[in-house]
Structure formats: structure tokens, C-alpha cells
Amino acid sequence: MNEPAITPELVARHNLTPDEYERVLQILGRAPTYTELGIFSVMWSEHCSYKNTRPLLKTLPTKGAGILVGAGEENAGIIDIGDGLAVAFKIESHNHPSAVEPFQGAATGVGGIIRDIFTMGARPIAAMNSLRFGELTQPNVRRLFSGVVSGIAHYGNCFGLPTVAGEVYFDRSYEGNPLVNAFCLGVLRHEQIARGKATGVGNPVFYVGPATGRDGLAGAAFASQDLTEESAEHQRGSVQVGDPFMEKLVCEACLELLTTGAVAGIQDMGAAGLTCSTCETAARAGTGIEIELDLVPQRSPHMSSYEIMLSESQERMLIIVHRGREAEVQRIFDKWDLPWAEIGTVTDTGRMVVRHGGRVVVDVPAAKLADEAPIYQRESREPAYLADVRSFTLAGIPDVSEPLILLRDLLAWPSIASKNWVYRQYDHMVRDGTVVCPGSDAAIIRIKADSLPPVADGTPVHPVPEKLLAMTVDCNGVYVYLDPYSGGKAAVMEAARNLTCSGATPLGVTDNLNFANPHNPELFYQLKESLRGIGDACRALGVPITGGNCSLYNQSPSGPIDPTPAIAMVGILDRRDLITTQGFKDEGDAILLLGHIVDSTDPLQGLGGSAYLQVVHGQKNGTPPVCDLEDGVRLVEGLRALIHGGSIKSAHDCSEGGLAVCLAEACFQSPVALGTPRMIGATIDLSSITGLRTDAVLFGESHHRVVISTSAIEAGKVIAQAKAMGLTALRLGTVRGTDLVLKLSGEEHRLPVADLHDGWWNAIARLMG
């Protein structure tokens, strides 16, 4: 096997700095082989090691009474939900692969996050996603958008996993670097938690899943560098190819295998493939591992050790088996018609040793590789552009005269418009557990008997108590760009409001930190400050972070993306009657606002960074609305108490587009059937609001506001209860008719809800042709 000589140029092509390479030499006591160089390259990449972000991640709140598996311990965090049950959930990015090959990049992103969940012993029961693209007027953006959505739909639908929620934003900053973040949630019993540790010296190591090919070579390293046309073309082979039907077989086989007690450790082959799965399992257990590459199933002839170790071919698992129980493992894999091979052994050396063609090609200390990557304290400097942001005023912004016309424009803006073009392609009802479908503030799914993994033959199976899980994913990247600290807080608080509007109590957070090049001090400032905000908000809510993903180097030659820390939050409801959705329900109901019409402490009256400024005035500027954590916590706790009191018929969070968009969306109720929307009108009387700009009242995005509805007879009681809990509560109007009517300063503005709905419902479909 002819291998290239290790030169400074070759080291640089592997994204290792001279200092890092010197550290490799010290660890090995010699020059690395070509395969070892590739292994250090991927394992010490940002994607695998978090070498630029680990010091910041340690500042986040990751502890909690319900935590069973914490952040960073395993492939996904696990939280107790009572009655011996638990949920495993995580979000991860596949941004660079999706920019190069949108269909396969997105599809394999879904496949990878599903494996992270069933690797923990949990049965995957729901998926969602957070997506960002450039402006849909651009043909290439439409191509990427269509490909990504198709890839997500293909993998989830074929696997049989409902995709129940998500978010999609469109902004010029993502034009050269779309974001594709995939989330998965699974359920299991406490005793079914599996670990990714290579325990038991002498235990055999099994490979299961399709043969290894040359697809996905060094994908983790590709994800840890700036995205350019040259790098994209060069790394097209770094995009994996997925097979969801194979993944389904692997999932069911692994869940069945875990019931036998024959498994000592299990790990999926995700980023860095066979490399990561072997060295990480050994490092977690404090053992060593030795494998023979000639035994690894290979799809292509004459694959080198470098290719086999760094391939990220999909749907593959590494399983450490208790010695003497190999026959049980083989029987189950054969039953599911899965390729498998016994490829190695757990050792007591603490080293990862790889043999190929009769010789040792890798001999590396496993812990040094997996846990002791270099850690950097990057320089942070406040970006110069923030001075202009803070100096922005409304002096040159004329107030509105035709508010409903502007509302129609805002509702048709792709970032606000209905995402039905997306979620209609997803099967969100498969497995028959979805209770609240895409389109409300949060999705809700019920836990059933078949939501849980199988148990061993003869094991008593207790009835599953009714439990419902709510989930949402949120982040306004514009807010984070304009004020990283406040924007980080706002993302967490919006997720909490969305869950609370559904009737749920938040359990935990998994975050996907999408940022640009950490070597730029101004870009690193965005990351550092937004994480500070995320941590403060989670501490204020008492909600732990169970894990997540860091995705840096998200920028193209046209510039960096807006910093986008996507917050996926999961909550729980114990009773079906607590479920609340955003749409108004009955004629004559009272419409109330919890929170202030406009935050009096904000000189921009909630218009800084707003959708209104972007759409109507073409400006992405101004300090975003103030995010006061004490006010935010008071609102979600008070709203939850009101919902649990049984008087609230609907609840909808005020976010992008402000109060007017929130009211319009509440008039757009859930469809009765495909293509048959159910709409209801509302009369809103704001004529008593004086001394404020009309655009601020209608389109300002002040935080900590929720529009609720209740029966007219209970409105007074609800307002009194809200005020007793320290909340501001105001009656806005009444659910009635088929028009949205706004009464402002002695003028009445009226537009049929159907007209507003048409632009909102069809905007994306019309742009996509």
C-alpha cells in the first residue's frame, strides 16, 4: 500500500496547524502514518472535538433533577418523564453537505440524528428541523430549498418517522451557506438506557450495517472549514448517501439486540465513521480496541486503510458484545437480513490499534485522540457594526397609514408565511401518535405502548400512562446578529413561550450553534455573547441543556451567516385536556393580550430588527426588543397556570410581525381537510391606545406577549387572575365574523380574513412555481 509522504503541505491540507502536528508527533513519539494523519485530522476537527467552543459550552447549565444522561456523556441526552419512562433527544447540523448536495446532505442529516437516538436504546418517535436559506427569488436558493425539503421528507417518510414541527427562515446572509439542522426524539424505559463504551477486555467488536464505501470521506473535516466553491467541489465526495430502509432494519435489529443483554456497548458510525466509533467507545470505557480492516465489509475494491477508517458511509453501527454471546448477535442480525462482521476485540492497552493487510496502520492512544484535542481560547471583540445598530432611530421611518395592506405584505413574506409547502411533503401522522400537527406554536405527540422499545421475552410490560410531549425549535437570527446576548436569551424564551402556549411544561433544551469562523474575533464575539444569553435564559427558566451541536465556519465568499443558535425545546403534558392551540375557536369569544402592547423601556418600541423594518423599509437594523428574563419567566408561569385552570381556548405567541401578524394567524385555524382552511374573523379595538406609533402597536415585536382567547363570560375572571399573578392583561376584542377589523385612533380598517390567508398560505408555493 503506497502512502504519500507526510509533508507540511499534506498536513495543511488536513487542516492541522503546525502546532497541532507537533502535538501529534509528541503523542506518537514518531511521525504518523497517512491513515493516522487523517484520523487526527477528523478527530481534532471542530466538528468532532469542539476545540474552539468547549470552554464556552462548559458555562451552560447542564444539570437537573431529571437528567439521566447529561450533555456530552453520550450520543444524546436523556431526561426522566416519570413512571419509569424517559425521553432522549438531540439536534445536529448537516449544513455543508446540504450546500453541496442538498437532497443527500439533508437526508443523511436526518439519518444521523435518528441513529444518535436509537443508539441510546430509545425508539425514535418524532422528528423536526430548523432550516435557513437565502432569498427565494434566487434560482439557486430555490434549488437548494427544494432539494433539502425533499431529502428530509424522503428519509423520514421512508423510515416511518413523523416530522411534526420545524422552522424555516429566508435571509440573504444564508445564500451561500444554508443551514440544515435535524432533531429527533425517542422514548425508552430507564433500564433500557444503552451506553457507548467498549467495556470488558476480550469482548468482541461487531460491525453491522451496509458495506463501507468511499462516500462521505472526511466529512467531519469538511464541515470544519469555510465553505467556498473550490472546497465544495473538492469535497463533493464528503457527502454521504443514505438508505432509510436499511436504517429501519438496523434500528429494529439493534433495539431487539439490546433486549438480550448481550450488548456491552453500542455506538453509531456518524461523523468520522469507524474512527470515531472505535476511539470514543474505548476512551469512554478507559480501555483499548483493536480492529482488523480486512474483516470490514467493503463496497469498493482495493480500499485503503485511510478510506475505510474515514468513510462516513451511512447506517452502520459498532457493537461491543459480551464474550460468549456472539451467536445471539449473529442470529438477530441474520433475522433482519443485515450484513455484519466481527472485526476486533476490546483490549486493556488504552490504545486504538488498526491492522490492515497484515500490518499495523494505526496505533494511537484512544483517550488522547478522543478527549485531549487542543483547546483554544479565541479572541473576542465587539463587532464594529454594532455601533451603527445602537445609533439607529425611528426618525426617518414614516408611520403607517394603511396597516392591513402592510399586514398582507408581511404575511406573504416567506419567513412569516405558512410553511405548508414544506410540511405537506412530510408524513407527520405516521405511527398515529401526532396530536397537534405542524402549523401551531408547538407540535404535540402522545406516548403509546408501541412508542417504547421492545423488552426481553417474559419481561412484564406495564401499561403506559398517558403522556404527551410537546416540541418546538426557535431562533431569530436577525436578533442575534443585532444583539448577540439579547438574541440568545430571546431564542430560549420564545421556545418556552411556544411550549407554554401549547399547555406544556418545558423539560430540556438541545441547541444547534450555527456560527461563522471562530478565528475572527468579531464573529467569535457573536458566539460567546449569544451563549451567555442562552445560559442565562435556561437558568432563569430552570431548564437544563441536554446536549446539542456546534457548527462553525458557516460562511461563504459573500460573507458570514447571521449567527443562528437554534433552540429545540421539549415539554410535557400529563393530560389531554391541557392541549392548547393557536387558532381562535368560537364566535363571541373574548380576545386578550397578556403582556404590554409596547415595551415603554424600548426607545424603538419593539421595531428594532423587526420583520416590519425588513419588509416595508428594507432595513435590518436597530437594537432588538428588550428581553427581560424576569418578565419572561413570569409570563410563561402565569400562562401555564391559566391554561391549567381550564379557561383558555387558544394561545399564540407574539413574535415575528408583532401583534397584527399574531392576530391574523389566530384567525387562520387548522384546515378541516386538505385545501379546506377554516377561518374566523376578529374585531380588535385599539382606539384607546394613544401616544404610540401605529406601526409599533401593530408590528412591533416586544417580547413576552401572548394573545389568548376565552369565553366572554370568563374574560373578566381571566384578567383578574392574570393581574393577581403580576401579569399585564388587556382585552383586545372579540372573535366574530369573517373579517379582521382593526379600530385605531377613530379609524376602522377592515379586510376579509380569506384575503389575508391567501397570501400567507400560498406565498412560498407561488415563489417555488
Residues designated catalytic: 47, 94
- Assigned C-alpha cell, 561: 451567516
Kindly give the residue spans of alpha helices, DSSP state H, lying in 415-554: 420-423, 477-482, 484-501, 521-541
CB 404 within 8 A of CB 633: no
CB 418 within 8 A of CB 760: yes
| CA-to-CA separations, 214 to 299, 305, 306, in angstroms, rounded | 8, 11, 10
Residue in the block written with cell 453520550 = 74
Work out the angle between the directed axes of helices 629-644 and 715-724 (0-180°, nearest 10): 140
User: Residue 413 and residue 510: Cα distance in Å, rounded?
Assistant: 28
- Assigned C-alpha cell, 30: 514518531
Phi, psi of 445 (to 5 degrees): -130, 145
List of residues 6+ apart from 431 with CB closer than 8 A? 125, 160, 161, 162, 450, 451
Q: How does 399-431 read in b/e, with b if 16+ C-beta sit within 10 Å?
A: ebeebbebbbebbbbbbbbbbbbbbebbbbeeb
- Assigned C-alpha cell, 49: 472535538
CB 270 within 8 A of CB 112: yes
Work out the angle between the directed axes of helices 244-258 and 326-335 (0-180°, nearest 10): 140
- How many CA atoms does the CB half-sphere of 136 hold within 13 Å? 18
Among 133, 161, 166, smallest CA distance to 148 is for 133
Concatenate the DSSP letters of all residues of 188-216 into one string: EEGGG-------STT-EEEEESSPB-STT
CB 421 within 8 A of CB 764: yes
CB 564 within 8 A of CB 477: yes
Among 140, 141, 150, 76, smallest CA distance to 106 is for 150
